[in-house]
Each structure stands twice: as structure tokens, then as C-alpha cells.
């Protein structure tokens, strides 16, 4: 095992671990991190197999090199001033989470979280998150200032009175709107499994509307209600349109996941926030990744 100054820990898969799941084999490079923590690092694209991200269920092969990037975030990398407040009143608020920041605090050196910054964002107020975004996803996160308000928001969600609109860039051309209603299995998995039967609960469906197509990519608006872990990422990938930059359900191009919660509507709060990226930027990212892969093939 090697450990360099850049925070990379590497190990070669021995023969006796051939065929083991990546999240379990990752103990070679992360011996002090539990299974759940290893899955989170895999999901975040911080554990690579021969230089490429792979899903937690990937079966490793003897001789493959596992590399984990252990990130020690300096104090103050994200500050309260980096978090725009989009809406606030006596009971609720909405803030814009940047990509690269966890919503809630996690173990295993996961880095800073929005949750930990709430006392500085709203000094003197007891603030609690009402929903979470993946670390790689940016956009709107609602907040409540007391438990009663939080319970009220949950009731609205369960009644289908909360609508969230995400903007995403996906692979492939999409000509008309469609709905993805596949069941999602999130039980004890870093990667959500998509079934092939319809979920009878309409609050678990993903409504997809194309906005614009460029260079084989489409900017889409995805509308969800209650939402589930990785719902949009898993649903779009299962529909043949993985998100650009997704290291778990897609191809992992570039450093950014092109997914942003752009609008939240409910009886108690409404907020909007534009994404920090564009369709043109995504097209350049995919083009650069393709050129890099072609160069690798020419050198083989």
C-alpha cells in the first residue's frame, strides 16, 4: 500500500479478492472506513479502479489498482457567505447549496456540510434541513426554524404539495416530454437499483421535459415531488439518458455533475436559483473527455 503527499492511497487487488465487490475490496485502501463510508466515497468519485470511477457493486479483478483520494478540507473552504439565502420568513428559509458540499454531516472524513454551516448562516436561530442534495448536486435546500414547521412541511410533501424542478444535462436527444415511473430500491445500497415495474405512487415519478439539444446532449427540466435518493440520476440513466458527469450512473466525464435544483414550490415557500453551468459547458466537457479517451486508445 502506498500513501503520497497528495492524499492518494493506492493498492493492487490480490488474487484472493478477485470477484469481490468494490465497496468491500476498498478496505485495502480504506481499512479504517466502514462499508457505508466506503460507499459514500465511491459515490463521490473519490475511489478509482485503474483511474476510473466504478459503482459499488463492481466486481474487482486481480491486478487492478485501487486508488482513494482522501480529502482533508481546510477550515473555511466553505463559509456561510458562500451559501446564498433565497427565501426566509419566521418559519422557513431556502438556501442554495454549492456542488462539493455535503448536505448533512457524515463520518469517515467526508468534509464540510451545509448542516454544520446553518448556525453561521442563520445566527441565533435553530435551523434544520428539510431535504438533502447529493454532494455533487447543487441548488435549493429548504430549511425550517422549528420542529412544528418541519412537521408541517413533511405533511405538505406527503400530500403532493411540494414540487421540485431540477435542471440537468443528459446524453442523447429527447424530442418530447416523458415520465419515468420505475420503482426504486434504495435498501442498504450506495447505488439505487431501478426496477422494471411501475411505482403506483405518483409522488415517486420523475417528469422530464426537454429544453434544448446541442452536440448530442439535452438540457432537461425534471420535476419530482417527494423524491428518493438518486431518483433523477437513476431514473434518467435507466431511461437511456445518463447525466453528464455522473460517476455512478453515467460515464463520469469531467469534475462536475450537471444536476441542479433550480426551483422549489410549496404553500409555505417558493424559491428559484439558476445553475452555475450551461449546456454549452457540458458539451465541451464531453468533447474533451472523448478526445482524451481517443488519445489513450491510440497509445495502447
pTM of structure: 0.74
Q: Is residue 257 a contact partner of residue 246, using CB atoms and an 8 Å limit? A: yes
Alpha-carbon distance of 97 to 276, in angstroms, equals: 11
* pLDDT score of 1: 37
pLDDT score recorded for residue 296: 47
Predicted local confidence at residue 297, as pLDDT: 52
Question: Which pLDDT belongs to residue 120?
Answer: 95
User: CB 170: neighbour CB atoms within 10 A?
Assistant: 28
**Cα–Cα distance measured from residue 234 to residue 65, given in angstroms and rounded to the nearest whole number:** 27
Quote the pLDDT of residue 292: 52
Catalytic residues, which ones? 134
Query: Mind spelling out the 3-state secondary structure of 95-145?
Result: EEECCCCECCCCCCCCCCEHHHHHHHHCCCCCCEECCCCCCCCEEEEEEEC
Q: What is the longest distance spanned by two Cα atoms in the chain? A: 62
pLDDT of residue 70: 67
Which pLDDT belongs to residue 299?
A: 47
Q: What does pLDDT average to in each consecutive run of 10 residues of the chain (300 residues)?
A: 55 94 90 74 86 91 89 66 96 97 70 91 96 95 97 96 98 97 81 92 96 97 93 97 95 93 98 97 87 50
Residue 42's pLDDT is 86
Amino acid at each position: 500500500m502506498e500513501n503520497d503527499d497528495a492524499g492518494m492511497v493506492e493498492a493492487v487487488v490480490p488474487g484472493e479478492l478477485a470477484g469481490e465487490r468494490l465497496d468491500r475490496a476498498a478496505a485495502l485502501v480504506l481499512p479504517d472506513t466502514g462499508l457505508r463510508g466506503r460507499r459514500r466515497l465511491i459515490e463521490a468519485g473519490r475511489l478509482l479502479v485503474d483511474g476510473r470511477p466504478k459503482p459499488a457493486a463492481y466486481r474487482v479483478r486481480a491486478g487492478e489498482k485501487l486508488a482513494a483520494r482522501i480529502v482533508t478540507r481546510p477550515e473555511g473552504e466553505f463559509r456561510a457567505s458562500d451559501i446564498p439565502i433565497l427565501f426566509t420568513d419566521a418559519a422557513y428559509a431556502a438556501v442554495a447549496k454549492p456542488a462539493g458540499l455535503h448536505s448533512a454531516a457524515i463520518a469517515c472524513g467526508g468534509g464540510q456540510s451545509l448542516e454544520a454551516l446553518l448556525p453561521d448562516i442563520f445566527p441565533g436561530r435553530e435551523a434544520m434541513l428539510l431535504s438533502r442534495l447529493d454532494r455533487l448536486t447543487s441548488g435549493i435546500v429548504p430549511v425550517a426554524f422549528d420542529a412544528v414547521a418541519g412537521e408541517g412541511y413533511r405533511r405538505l410533501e406527503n400530500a403532493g404539495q411540494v414540487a421540485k424542478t431540477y435542471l440537468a444535462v443528459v446524453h442523447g436527444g429527447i424530442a418530447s416530454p416523458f415520465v419515468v415511473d420505475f420503482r426504486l430500491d434504495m435498501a442498504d445500497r450506495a447505488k439505487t437499483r431501478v426496477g422494471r415495474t411501475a411505482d403506483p405512487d405518483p409522488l415517486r415519478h420523475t417528469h422530464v421535459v426537454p429544453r434544448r439539444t446541442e452536440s448530442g446532449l439535452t438540457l432537461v427540466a425534471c420535476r419530482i415531488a417527494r423524491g428518493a435518493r438518486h431518483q433523477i440520476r437513476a431514473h434518467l440513466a435507466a431511461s437511456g439518458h445518463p447525466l453528464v458527469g455522473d460517476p455512478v450512473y453515467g460515464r463520469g466525464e469531467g469534475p462536475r455533475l450537471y444536476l441542479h435544483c433550480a426551483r422549489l414550490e410549496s404553500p409555505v415557500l417558493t424559491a428559484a436559483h439558476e445553475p452555475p453551468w450551461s449546456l454549452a459547458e457540458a458539451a465541451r466537457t464531453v468533447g474533451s473527455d472523448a478526445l482524451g479517451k481517443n488519445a489513450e486508445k491510440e497509445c495502447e
